[in-house]
Amino acid sequence: MQIRESTASGDGDGDGDDDVEGGVPTILVLNSGSSSLKFGLFTHAGGDEALLLEGSAEGIGRHDGSLRIKSPDGRVLVQQDQLLETQTEALQKLAGVLAHQKYGRPSAVGHRVVHGGPHLRKHQRLTPAVRQRLQDAVHFAPLHIPPALALIDEAAKIFGDAQHFACFDTAFHATMPPLAAQLPLPRRYVKSGVIRYGFHGLSYESLVTQLGAALPPRAVFAHLGNGSSVCALRDGQSVDTSMGLTPTGGVPMGTRSGDLDPGVLLYLMRVEKLDAAALETLLNRHSGLAGYSDGESDMQALERRAAAGDANASLALDAFATAVRKTIGGYAALLGGIDLLVFTGGIGEHSAEIRRRVCDGLAFMGLVESDPAGKVRAIHTEEEKQIARHCRTLLAAQGPTGTR
C-alpha cells in the first residue's frame, strides 16, 4: 500500500509538470463496476470539470473483454479487444495507454467507493488510516470493498506521485432522518452500524448538480441499471431510498433479489442448508430479473424475448417496473406529492419501454412518460464528473502543502 500521509514532495516518476493541461491539474476518475472499469480524465475550464478523455474496460474476466478510450466528441482513440482478468489488470493496461497520451500524469486520482461502512460517510483524501477503515468495513460489503481496495492499491503504485481521494456512494444519503435510516431491529445493532445507508449517491448528486435551480422541492430519482434504486429528495437532499444496509436491497435488479421476506432466508438456511456464502451468491448473482427469467438479466434481451411472447421475460419486466412504480408511489406519500420524476442509469436513460411500464398507473399524479410539461425526465448521469468535482474541491482545500 503506497497511499501516503503527506504528498508535499511527491514520490512518483513524474517531473511535476507533466500532469498539467494548460497549467490546470488533471484528475483521473476511476469508477469500478462488477465487470467493468470506467474512467474519465478531467481538467477545469469554464467554472466546471471538462472532460479530456473517457473510456472503459468492459467484460473483465471474459474472453470478449475490451478496452476503449474516446475523446469528448465520441471519437474512438483506442480500441483493444482482449481478455482482462481483473480490474487491476485493466487499470495497468489503461495506465499504459494514458502514458502515450499528450496529457501526461494526473495530479489526483478519484475513486468511486460503493460502501465505506459506518465511519466513512464523507468524500475525503485516501490516507493509510482511511484505507484501514475501509478494510475494517469489509463485512458491510464483502462483494464490493475488496475489489475496491485492490484497485486503490494498484492505482497508488501506478500513480504514486498523485493524490488519491475516495468518493462514497453512501455519502449523499447521510441526510436521511432516523425514520428512514434506522432499521426495525434492537438499538444495539444501530450502534454497530446496521442501518440503511443507500447507494447510487454519486449518480444522484450528479442529477442535483445538473438540475441546479430547476430542481423542485419534491423529486424522485430512479437510477435503473443492472443495479437499481429509487431515491426521494426534499429540497435536493435524500430523505429516503430503496437500498438499505447493502446494494442488494430494494427493487429487484439484474441479478440481485431486492427486498425479501426475512422468512425466505430462514427457510433457505433450514431446509436448503445454505450458509452465508451460498446465500450471498444466490441473492446477488442468481436472483432478480435472472431469477424470474431463468437466467437472463440483460434488459434489452428481456425486452426482445417479451416481444416474442416469452412469458417469463414478460413477468421479469412487469415485476421490475411494478416494484419501481410502487416505490415511487410510496415516496409520493412521503413527500406529499412529486414535482419531478427523473430516470437515469443505463435502463432508466435508454429503455422507453421500462419508463412507460413504470409510469403506467401514475398518471393520476401527473406523471406520464411522454409528459410535455417535463414532470418526467430521463437524464444522463455523470458520476465520473461528479467525482472530479469533489476531488478538485478537496485538492484545493489542502492548499500548498497538498500539492506536488
Query: Side chain identity at 93, as an amino acid letter?
Result: K
Gap between the Cα atoms of 82 and 404, Å rounded: 35
C-alpha cell at 286: 442468481
Query: Side chain identity at 360, as an amino acid letter?
Result: D
- Which parts of 137-177 fold into alpha helices (H)? 145-158
Backbone angles phi, psi at 56, to 5 degrees: -165, 155
Helices 145-158 and 87-98, axial angle in degrees (round to 10): 30
Letter string b/e over residues 27-48, b meaning 16 or more CB atoms within 10 A of that residue's CB:
bbbbbbbbebbbbbbbbbeeee
Using DSSP's 3-state secondary structure scheme, residue 311 falls into: helix
The answer to whether the Cα torsion of 370, 381, 216, 335 is positive or negative is: positive
Using DSSP's 3-state secondary structure scheme, residue 135 falls into: helix
169 classed as catalytic: yes
Partner residues linked to 67 by β-bridges: 57, 80
Query: Side chain identity at 39, as an amino acid letter?
Result: F
- Find, among 10, 185, 246, the residue nearest to 107 by Cα: 10
How many helices (DSSP H) and strands (DSSP E) are in the chain? Answer: 14, 15
Gap between the Cα atoms of 343 and 320, Å rounded: 14
- Find, among 23, 161, 32, 46, the residue nearest to 103 by Cα: 23
Backbone angles phi, psi at 236, to 5 degrees: 80, 5
Residue pointed to by grid coordinates 483521473: 28
User: Are residues 159 and 28 in contact, defined by beta-carbon separation less than 8 angstroms?
Assistant: yes
Helices 276-285 and 262-270, axial angle in degrees (round to 10): 130
C-alpha cell at 57: 474496460
Q: Choosing from 19, 169, 240, 310, which is the catalytic residue?
A: 169
The catalytic site residues sit at 169
